[in-house]
Amino acid sequence: METVLQLTDVSKAYGAVKALKQVSLTIPKGSVFGILGPNGSGKTTMMSIVLDVLGADTGTYSWFNQSPSSADRKRIGSLLETPNFYHYLSAVDNLKITSAISGRGNDQAIDEVLEIVKLTERKKSKFSAYSLGMKQRLAIAAALLGNPEVLLLDEPTNGLDPVGILEIRELIKRLASKGITIIIASHLLDEVEKICTHVAILKRGNLLTSGPVDEVLSNEDIVEVSAENMDALKSCVGQIPDVLSIKEDNQRLQVHFKAGTAKMEAVNQHCFNHGITLNLLLNKKKSLESKFFELTND
């Protein structure tokens, strides 16, 4: 698979604070890549370095398999923080100013990006009249000027209500369907799990894991079971080979197996043979949230 961005042993410190520690990462073309981590994990520092806003102390990075250049930078759109739009100007006039400053796009391009983010009907409204979700969509429209091949978004749904989050989620899906590679820094695990094809998890500047979302989550199989007699059920499933652990949650047992070893029919048959009739048998994939906290907890 073609690579869009490659980081090799990138480190960055602010005095005694090590924001990134020899981070190496490969982001494939066409992916929706989530950079996950709690506050202070190094997400924004990483974004700033690959956008040439900050310099790395050590290590290198490359865009499109070549050393960074101003020409390549024009192929990349970014939203590190909400642009300073003028509250008394319309969306169109604000984007005209953005276009003039950045040298990206023209009047036709402005109309096109407003259509992409579904603000055409409100393009003449003042920025001050926009909801938070609309303001964020306008910011993404500004990042889309110039038809970038890659879009970097730092916390794109931060501070939004559920409607605004849904709007941004659907927008990211539409952009991804056009073939744009999207890199998202976020701490909203549920959103990343719903949007991203790939994920990397950072903690205090260390890269803990990275890869396709399914691979990152596939280190265990989880089967959820329930029966009328939960004590008998717990004793029963504990005798099944390859069981790693059993956790009880809200009148259900989550039975953890090594990846690829859980067989639903065998679990059901084992319980039946021991006189237990299951009223719930569910193959439950580990959530990104549980994986995230599993990795980042001290």
Residues 101-117: pLDDT tens digits? 888 878 889 999 999 99
In order of 16, 39, 77, 242, 262, the CA distances from 165 in angstroms are 36, 20, 20, 40, 35
High-pLDDT (> 70) share of the chain, %: 94
The ranges assigned to domains in the chain are 3-75+149-214, 220-296
**What integer is the mean pLDDT of 129-141?**
93
pLDDT reported for residue 285? 67
**What's the whole-number average pLDDT of the chain?**
89
In this structure, of 144-148, 149-153, 179-183, 213-217, the range with the lowest mean pLDDT score is: 213-217
In order of 65, 168, 206, the CA distances from 203 in angstroms are 27, 26, 5
Q: Given pLDDT bands bounded at 50, 70 and 90, which one contains residue 289?
A: low
Alpha helices (H) in 54-131, listed in sequence order: 70-73, 91-102, 107-116
**What integer is the mean pLDDT of 231-254?**
88
Tens of pLDDT, residue by residue over 158-185, are: 888 888 899 999 999 999 999 999 999 9
pLDDT reported for residue 116? 93
Tell me the DSSP string of 107-118: HHHHHHHHHHTT
At the second CATH level, the architecture of 220-296 is: 2-Layer Sandwich (3.30)
pLDDT reported for residue 198? 94
Q: Which residues contact 91 (CB under 8 A, 6 or more apart)?
A: 114, 119, 122, 123, 124, 125, 127, 130, 138, 141
Alpha carbons 82 and 84: distance in angstroms, whole number: 7
Tens of pLDDT, residue by residue over 27-75, are: 999 999 999 888 888 999 999 999 999 999 999 999 998 888 877 788 9
Q: Which residues contact 213 (CB under 8 A, 6 or more apart)?
A: 34, 193, 196, 197, 198, 199, 288
Residue whose structure tokens are 């890269």: 207
Neighbour-count burial for 64-88, b at 16+ CB within 10 Å, e otherwise: beeebeeeeeeebbbbbebbebeee
Q: Does domain 3-75+149-214 have CATH number 3.10.310.30?
A: no
pLDDT above 90 (res 257): no
Q: Given pLDDT bands bounded at 50, 70 and 90, which one contains residue 256?
A: confident
In this structure, of 40-49, 55-64, 251-260, 285-294, the range with the lowest mean pLDDT score is: 285-294
- Residues belonging to the chain: 298
